Amino acid sequence: MSLLEVNNLTIIFGGLRAVDGFNLKIEKGQLYGLIGPNGAGKTTVFNMLTGVYKPTSGKITLDGEDITGKSTIEINRKGIARTFQNIRLFHNMTVLDNVKVGLNNQKKYSVGEGLFRLPRYFKEEKEMDEKALALLSVFDLDQEKDFLASNLPYGKQRKLEIARALATNPKLLLLDEPAAGMNPNETAELMETIHFVRDRFGMTILLIEHDMKLVGGICEEVTVLNFGKELAHGETSKVLNNPEVIKAYLGE
């Protein structure tokens, strides 16, 4: 059974079919790419997978469970986490507290226990501090745990966003243009980070990306969207050399 199965996913905005009959299967542990020209519908797919948009029709199954149309919080608890093209950190919070936000879906103490600072509150907060710090150390960010997130270099902000997403304990990690705004050295380091995350956490990863060097270097399979419909899918090297893909996506 595939970890993620998407069947005939469609969404219509005011008569416009932004995504039309989209299908996708991703196996556990796979690195999969979703590519296509601007406006093709890639981020719209991500928004449906994460509950930001409710599909007009179609079905999304995660690890055998139908999650179609569920809320963002429900879907995150079921096991999908994401990052964004424009980094969305809590810039006025510390690096450590940003990761602790990701752990909040696992806390068990009640509002009352937190309000009155009862023993269970302190116990769980200490455990979350330890978990967050351990995760930061994986990304070599533990020394900056008390920094404001806004004070981190751009590449480290990307790492922090990934660390925060992983703190929610996902089965599937969605990365929306993780290399956006990066220089070549940062992109090369990002490629290593993505491989590391897959291998270290046994993570399944689906990414949107325009950097074809990155896509070709890490994705095992890709699907190409164009005008909301699938143009091609399959083994990455074959798809990237497909004349139709080159014409539509690269504009050649």
Domain ranges of the chain: 1-79+170-252, 91-169
Looking at residues 77-101, what average pLDDT do you find?
95
- Encode pLDDT of 193-232 as tens digits: 999 999 999 999 999 998 888 999 999 999 999 999 999 9
Query: 88, 101 in Cβ contact below 8 A?
Result: no
In the CATH scheme, what architecture does the domain 1-79+170-252 have? 3-Layer(aba) Sandwich (3.40)
- Give residue 246's identity as a one-letter amino acid code: I
Checking if the pLDDT of 251 tops 60, the result is no
Mean pLDDT score of the chain, rounded to an integer?
A: 91
Looking at residues 78-86, what average pLDDT do you find?
95
Model pLDDT, residue 141: 97
Tokens of 72: 């963002």
Could you give the CA distance from residue 176 to residue 207 in angstroms, rounded to a whole number?
6
- List the one residue out of 99, 86, 95 whose CA is nearest residue 152: 95
Percent of the chain residues topping a pLDDT of 70 = 92
- For the chain, the straight-line distance linking the first and the last C-alpha, in angstroms and rounded, comes to 38
Model pLDDT, residue 252: 47
Q: For 200, which DSSP code?
A: H
Looking at residues 66-79, what average pLDDT do you find?
96
pLDDT band for position 21 (cuts 50, 70, 90):
very high
Could you give the CA distance from residue 55 to residue 152 in angstroms, rounded to a whole number?
37
- Encode pLDDT of 148-169 as tens digits: 999 999 999 999 999 999 999 9
- For strands 80-82 and 172-176, give the pairing: parallel
Checking if the pLDDT of 249 tops 70, the result is no
Checking if the pLDDT of 106 tops 80, the result is no
Percent of the chain residues topping a pLDDT of 90 = 75
Residues sharing a CB contact under 8 Å with residue 179, sequence separation 6 or more, in sequence order: 186, 187, 190, 209, 210, 211, 214
Model pLDDT, residue 26: 98
- Encode pLDDT of 110-156 as tens digits: 656 656 566 776 787 888 889 999 999 999 999 999 999 999 999 99
Alpha helices in the chain (DSSP H): 42-49, 72-78, 95-103, 111-115, 119-138, 154-167, 184-201, 212-218, 236-240, 243-249
Return the ∠ at Cα 87 (arms to 27 and 50), rounded to 5°: 40
- List the one residue out of 42, 32, 36, 5 whose CA is nearest residue 221: 32
